[in-house]
Amino acid sequence: MKKTDFIIKPNDEDLLRTMEITGSIKSVERMKKNKKFRVDYEAAKKELVESAAPVLCWNRFPIKEIVGNQVVLKNGAKIGRGPVAKVVAGAQELILGVCTIGMKTERKSEEYMKGAAMMKGFILDALASWAVDSVRAQFYEWIKKEFFKKEGLRTSSMLWPGNSWPIEEQAEIFKILGNETGEIGVSLTASMMMAPKKSLSFLLGAGKNPLGSEDSLQCEFCPDRPGCKAYKIRMNRHL
Ligand code: SF4
């Protein structure tokens, strides 16, 4: 299934704080006073909105059983490790998905970075990372509060490969989704890098009964949390 009705509407406070906390800029207050930064930031924001082409593919897969740290689907596929089995415990089905904002923004930021507009390229790259995460978060809100609520289903916390969940499991997401990822133009390399780079894959569980984890952030299962600068931002957005 394909979904495209996402809104890329940069929120300055959220974006700038994310850039500050992840080390892309030193201080929001300092950057706000920097005229060149302000001009480049506004231009990059406009380009992001014009060039981003958000699209997401997703599907639901009935669960047969959970064995150890593996979720076994009724179609015979297995996916797990990390916190997956714990998070989706009790679920009747697994939802897998991949989202992207496409190649256009990425190409533009690379062009700027190679040329004389390095700062603008750098800002556009950071905005593109924020944008793809915002697509993932918008989908999570929609499926939780609109889609599954109508069916009377509860939804688990959402997980995406990396940090607490081994990145190699991304290959299983792509295998299980089959042609759907190609239909939105996203591919996966042997080194688990997605193309376009501004793409994300994810998983969550759904079911009628209470689930292993329903309102936690992925961060709560992450071993990097104590030193992670982005954690606070995620906590504030609760996504
Ligand atoms: S704690 Fe940090 S590194 Fe870990 S999942 Fe959250 S944002 Fe990512």
**pLDDT computed for residue 146 by the predictor:** 86
- Smallest CA separation from ligand 1 atom 6, residue: 219
**pLDDT computed for residue 12 by the predictor:** 83
Expressed in angstroms and rounded, the spacing between residue 162 Cα and the centre of ligand 1 is 9
**pLDDT computed for residue 196 by the predictor:** 97
**Pocket of ligand 1 contains residue 103 by CB under 6 Å:** no
Return the ligand 1 atom nearest residue 223 CA. 4
Expressed in angstroms and rounded, the spacing between residue 220 Cα and the centre of ligand 1 is 8
- Give one word for 159, left, alpha or beta, with left for phi > 0 and alpha for psi -120 to 50: beta
**Pocket of ligand 1 contains residue 18 by CB under 6 Å:** no
Beta bridge partners of 56: 3, 99
Other residues' Cβ atoms within 10 Å of the Cβ of residue 153: 20
Return the ligand 1 atom nearest residue 229 CA. 2
Return the ligand 1 atom nearest residue 162 CA. 5
Which residues of the chain are under the pLDDT cut of 70? 21-22, 233-239
CA–CA distance, 166 with 92 (Å, rounded to integer) = 23
**pLDDT computed for residue 132 by the predictor:** 94
Continuous segment of H or E residues that includes residue 194: strand 194-195
Task: Report CA-CA distances (Å) from 217 to 104, 127, 133, 204, 231.
Answer: 30, 22, 14, 12, 9
pTM for the model stands at 0.91
Token duo for residue 38: 């302000």
Return the ligand 1 atom nearest residue 222 CA. 4
Question: Going from the N-terminus, what domains does the chain have, and what CATH number goes with each?
Answer: 6-237 (3.40.109.40)
- Smallest CA separation from ligand 1 atom 8, residue: 219
**pLDDT computed for residue 78 by the predictor:** 96
- Give the phi and the psi of residue 167 in degrees, each rounded to 5: -60, -25
- Torsion, Cα 86 151 171 165, to 10 degrees, reads -30
Q: From 84, 94, 92, 96, select the one nearest 58 (Cα to Cα).
A: 96
Token duo for residue 20: 């500050």
CA–CA distance, 187 with 79 (Å, rounded to integer) = 19
